[in-house]
A and B are shown apart, each in its own frame.
Chain A
Amino acid sequence: MRHLLRLPSTLLFGALLLAVGNATPREDVLQVSLQKLMNVEWNPGDELPEDIKAYDGQRVEISGFMRTGTTEGETWFDLTNDSCGCGTGKLQHFVRVSLTDDRTRFDPGELVLTGSFEVSEKEDEDGFVESLYRMKIEKLPR
């Protein structure tokens, strides 16, 4: 009888674990839309929406374009929603991508990147916000 009573709570606990697992799949790759990131209404100092902050620390897949004028041989570049990169003065309009095991070579085509994602205001030595979204990848896709 005791076991029977325990069964519903065990099932409930299991279901909860599954639900939590689905909400925060730390090991899975999340598909993130650059459009969603770009359309956040945000100014330096503002709080970011919870659903955007939830990407912090996640492994994500995101597609976009290398900003025109990216210098060759660098260890980073900005990923924008089109090759023009127009209007990317806004911090929510680009993802700063760091390469851990590669150097930049400009490619005007679409890039699909997978790596670890970071969301927070990163300031320079003068207190200017330099980036809001950052991503670390090993290499550029060939």
Chain B
Amino acid sequence: MRRARALLLGSCLLTCLGLAAPLVSQEAEPVDAEVAAKAEKYLELAQTGRIPVRPQAARRLIGLGEPALERVRQACGPEGSKLAGLGTHLVEVLPEFGDAELRAWSWRSLRDLDFPWRPAAARGLAVTAVEAEAGDYWSLLDDHLAPVRAAAIEALGRVGSGDELQRARLVDHLQREGDDIARRAGVLLLDDWGEPGYLIWLVEDLRRTDAYFQIPFGEQARYQSARALEKRLGDLHGYDPGTSPLEKASAQAIEAIAATVLERAGGELPEVLFRAAEPIEGNVIGLELRSCREGTFFLSWSRDDVLHFGQAGRHEWRLEAGTVARLEPALAACLAPLEDERFWGAAGCDLEHLRLVDREGATRSYLVSKGPEAVPELRPEALDRAVALLVETLPETLSPSQSDGQLRDDVRRALLSIGGPLE
């Protein structure tokens, strides 16, 4: 009897399941298909959509969870071999899927110096950093790409202990750090770790007025450091980063902010190593290089034969007298065949920008740009010859960057990776 009842119950259950099964699959299938279609769409938009849409689409992809993860893994190719083809926005969000394999591929890409989206990989890993990776982030402080170093500092904020030894190690690094964004991130981390005195380095930024030709790096630094300081200190005593720091009200506000930092630091402040830079007078030639793989260079030659390089032109090199006077007509002769042509290539993460300022102060620009893939003979011959003349004037024995390379070699490598070989 008991067996018969069990059989009856079993058959009822099977019948119910049998009836229910098509209903469940009918309900589940459209949902899955909808999610899959969304994943497909966001994947495409994150790679080829309009530029402002790409990061938003990448973020939406994460929100889709598991179905998107499978599709993204597929897009990464076998063993993540196609990661570079995904583009910077997707590479940046990969670690946020929380998948061990994607994380391992992100680390492998970050360690591959030829991978074009290393800063994005570093940022993605940094926001999801885990303690076991702490040693790797410390090592990345020596990376030749500033955005990678900045991301490593952000990661250390998540996984570092901030003990005395680590604080000393970070201070030691920041004393050599030539990049504004990485240095600012480090100062804020030191504040988090109980060393507020280094905020005085950000106060110094509030006095900056430097510019690289028309790019107002000083003003940019004022805005960014003011925003960071406001979050830490609250009141900025009426300081307005849009107003010249030379104006009396600005100068007074900066003094008041410095006093607040001094008080917060218990009356003792570290030495300010990076003094506020001013505009460089008489710059007549500029060569700006931004390479996805080799980093960023801002070089300028002034009429009084000084070569400036590094952010805010902090490093300078005295050239042989008459160098720039000889360069100007030579460059003009090289560039004459280009007539009104000013741009070669397509938008991308690699860019060369040559600027020439004439006697009336007008700037003429020549731009070469491309994505991460090599483009043969991108830089026209006339521009090749002009850039080669500039490279010849660079000192061979100076090492301004975090890497062990020398300025001339570093610049040559960057030029090679952007516009190709010179001549």
Contact = CB atoms under 8 A, between A and B. Distances in A.
Interface residues of B, number: 38
Contacts of A131: 52
Contacts of B223: 35-36, 38-39
Contacts of B351: 68, 83-84, 86
Nearest to B362: A109
B353 A130 contact: no
B52 A108 contact: no
A55 interface: no
A118 B27 CA distance: 45
A59 interface: no
A128 B367 contact: no
Contact of B353 (A33, A89, A108): A108
Contact of B220 (A35, A41, A67, A129): A35
A82 B215 contact: yes
B216 A124 contact: no
Contacts of B290: 84, 86
A35 B218 CA distance: 10
- Consensus secondary structure, chain A interface: loop
Given A35-B223, A81-B220, A106-B343, A88 B53 contact: no
A130 B242 contact: no
A110 interface: yes
Nearest to B369: A68
A39 B224 contact: yes
Interface stretch (B18-26, B54-62, B263-271): B54-62
- The contact size tier of chain A is 35 or more
Given A35-B223, A89-B51, A108 B242 contact: no
Given A35-B219, A69-B347, A108 B51 contact: no
Interface string B269-309: 00000000000000000001010000000000000000000
A25 interface: no
Contacts of A91: 52
Most buried by A among B214, B219, B290: B214
Interface in A15-42: 33, 35-36, 38-39, 41
A76 B347 CA distance: 16
B53 A107 contact: no
Contacts of B56: 44, 128-129
Contacts of B242: 33, 35-36
Given A89-B51, A130-B50, A110 B363 contact: yes
B298 to A, nearest CB: 11
Interface in A70-106: 78, 81-86, 88-91, 94, 106
Most buried by A among B45, B227, B367: B367
Interface string B358-398: 00000111110100000000000000000000000000000
Given A39-B223, A69-B369, A130 B53 contact: yes
A75 to B, nearest CB: 15
Given A39-B223, A84-B369, A129-B52, 20 more contacts: A35-B219, A39-B227, A39-B241, A41-B227, A68-B347, A69-B348, A69-B369, A81-B215, A83-B365, A84-B353, A89-B55, A94-B52, A106-B343, A108-B342, A108-B367, A109-B364, A110-B214, A126-B45, A128-B53, A129-B56
Interface of B: 41, 45, 49-57, 89, 214-216, 219-220, 223-224, 227, 241-242, 288, 290, 342-343, 346-349, 351, 353, 363-367, 369
Which 5 pairs from chain A and chain B are nearest by CB?
A69-B347, A39-B223, A108-B365, A110-B214, A108-B367
Interface of A: 33, 35-36, 38-39, 41, 44, 63, 65, 67-69, 78, 81-86, 88-91, 94, 106-110, 124, 126, 128-131
24 contacts: A35-B220, A44-B56, A65-B214, A68-B367, A68-B369, A69-B369, A82-B215, A83-B353, A84-B288, A86-B290, A88-B52, A90-B52, A91-B52, A107-B342, A108-B342, A108-B353, A109-B363, A109-B365, A124-B50, A126-B41, A128-B45, A128-B49, A128-B52, A130-B52
